[in-house]
Amino acid sequence: MPEMDGWDFCRALKKNQETEHIPVVMVTGKTSEMDRKIGRSLKIADYVTKPFTPEIIKNTVNMVFLEEMGRREREEREKLEGELKIGHDIQQGLLPERLRPPAGKLQASSLWIPARQLGGDFFDELYSESERNRSYVIADVSGKGLPAALIAVASQAALRTACQLTTDPATLLGNLNSMLCETTADETFITCFVANFDLATNKLEFASAGHHGMMLYRSCTGEVELIGTDDPPCGLISPMEFQASSMEFESGDVLLLFTDGLLEAEGKKQEMYGEERLAQKLKEHSGNTAPQIKEAISEDIESFIRNRAQVDDRTMIVVKVV
């Protein structure tokens, strides 16, 4: 190397953006501690002193390659985790920060805990400009991770747009179904439940797209009823007419909307939390406020699973008539 020594070559390599990440193994006769410090300052991957054998060089280079592969994998993982964290924050920001039902009529409280950084569940509160109607939506997209989260965000936007024209739950589901059938893959579908409170007539209207068994505590009987319809999920068949049902609501009634992550929360011996326990917990706390009911159910689930890993998103909305 008549024009530069090994140190100069390394300095030039590290100054160039196209070559600065190339790992370098220094093979040299310089053995002083100062030489080693210079090598570390230039981010030399490894340092082999003379004399050496081909086997030493081979093993050293193999170790450097393995370390470099590990470093790059860590960087990619950290980059992906950062992007997923941003995606989580965006998705959470699109959900209502706090449900704002009309004062004096309804109380509402929600929970959204994705199993991963991005979730396939979503919920929303929809209302008309007249404030006569207040609708609550809960939905579960098939699949996990980023694909499900993207569909969830698009579906939430579609429902928000549609509610400006209608508050009819069946029509809202029909519009969502058409959008999904036109824009998503055949295997993508969403189960969704829409409940609309008509505050002028005290009528609860609801429709379900494959989202069965929502719970309604009736203050007049002191019992929990399961409500829903047998219509299929959105995104499978187009066109599709969904059926709506209705009933009168009164003070003290509590509507619980949830995704199957609540029922399938797993406790000891792979036991599921289940419908019966959820209904009992709703009944026990029906006299409390909506936020208190939500907290009681959430705390009971956490106690049931005892720090076991969460495998599915957990989402719920509690709406109480006051």
Which residues are registered as beta bridge partners of 124?
137
Pick the last residue of a domain from 29, 53, 87.
87
More confident residue, 296 or 167: 296
93 within a domain of the structure (yes/no): no
Residues 6+ apart with CB under 8 A from 40: none
94 within a domain of the structure (yes/no): no
Host domain of residue 195: 99-321
Structure tokens at 283: 């009944």
Mean pLDDT for the stretch of residues 21-35: 79
The secondary element (H helix, E strand) that includes residue 128 is: none
1 within a domain of the structure (yes/no): no
Number of domains in the chain: 2
User: CB burial class (10 A; 0-12, 13-18, 19+) of residue 163?
Assistant: buried
* pLDDT band per the 50, 70, 90 thresholds, residue 1: low
Nearest to 227 by CA among 240, 217, 219: 217
142 within a domain of the structure (yes/no): yes
User: CB burial class (10 A; 0-12, 13-18, 19+) of residue 275?
Assistant: middle
Pick the last residue of a domain from 87, 115, 148.
87
Structure tokens at 5: 């020594």
CATH for 81: 3.40.50.2300
Query: Which pLDDT belongs to residue 257?
Result: 97
180/191 Cα distance (integer angstroms): 12
Mark whether 117 and 259 lie in a shared domain. Answer: yes
Mark whether 57 and 153 lie in a shared domain. Answer: no
Query: Which pLDDT belongs to residue 243?
Result: 94
Mark whether 216 and 127 lie in a shared domain. Answer: yes
Q: How far is CA 159 from the centre of its chain?
A: 18
Query: Which pLDDT belongs to residue 218?
Result: 97
Mark whether 268 and 189 lie in a shared domain. Answer: yes
92 within a domain of the structure (yes/no): no
Mean pLDDT for the stretch of residues 192-218: 94
Longest distance between any two alpha carbons in the chain, whole Å? 97
Q: What tens digit of pLDDT does each residue of 219-255 get? A: 999 999 999 988 999 999 888 999 999 999 999 999 9
**Beta pairing class for 214-218 and 254-258:** antiparallel
Task: Give the predicted TM-score (pTM) of the model.
Answer: 0.75
Looking at 33-42, 162-171, 229-238, which range is the least confident one?
33-42
Mark whether 56 and 113 lie in a shared domain. Answer: no
Mark whether 48 and 80 lie in a shared domain. Answer: yes
More confident residue, 234 or 59: 234
Q: What tens digit of pLDDT does each residue of 74-122 get? A: 877 777 677 667 777 777 777 787 788 887 899 999 999 988 777 789 9
Mean pLDDT for the stretch of residues 161-184: 91
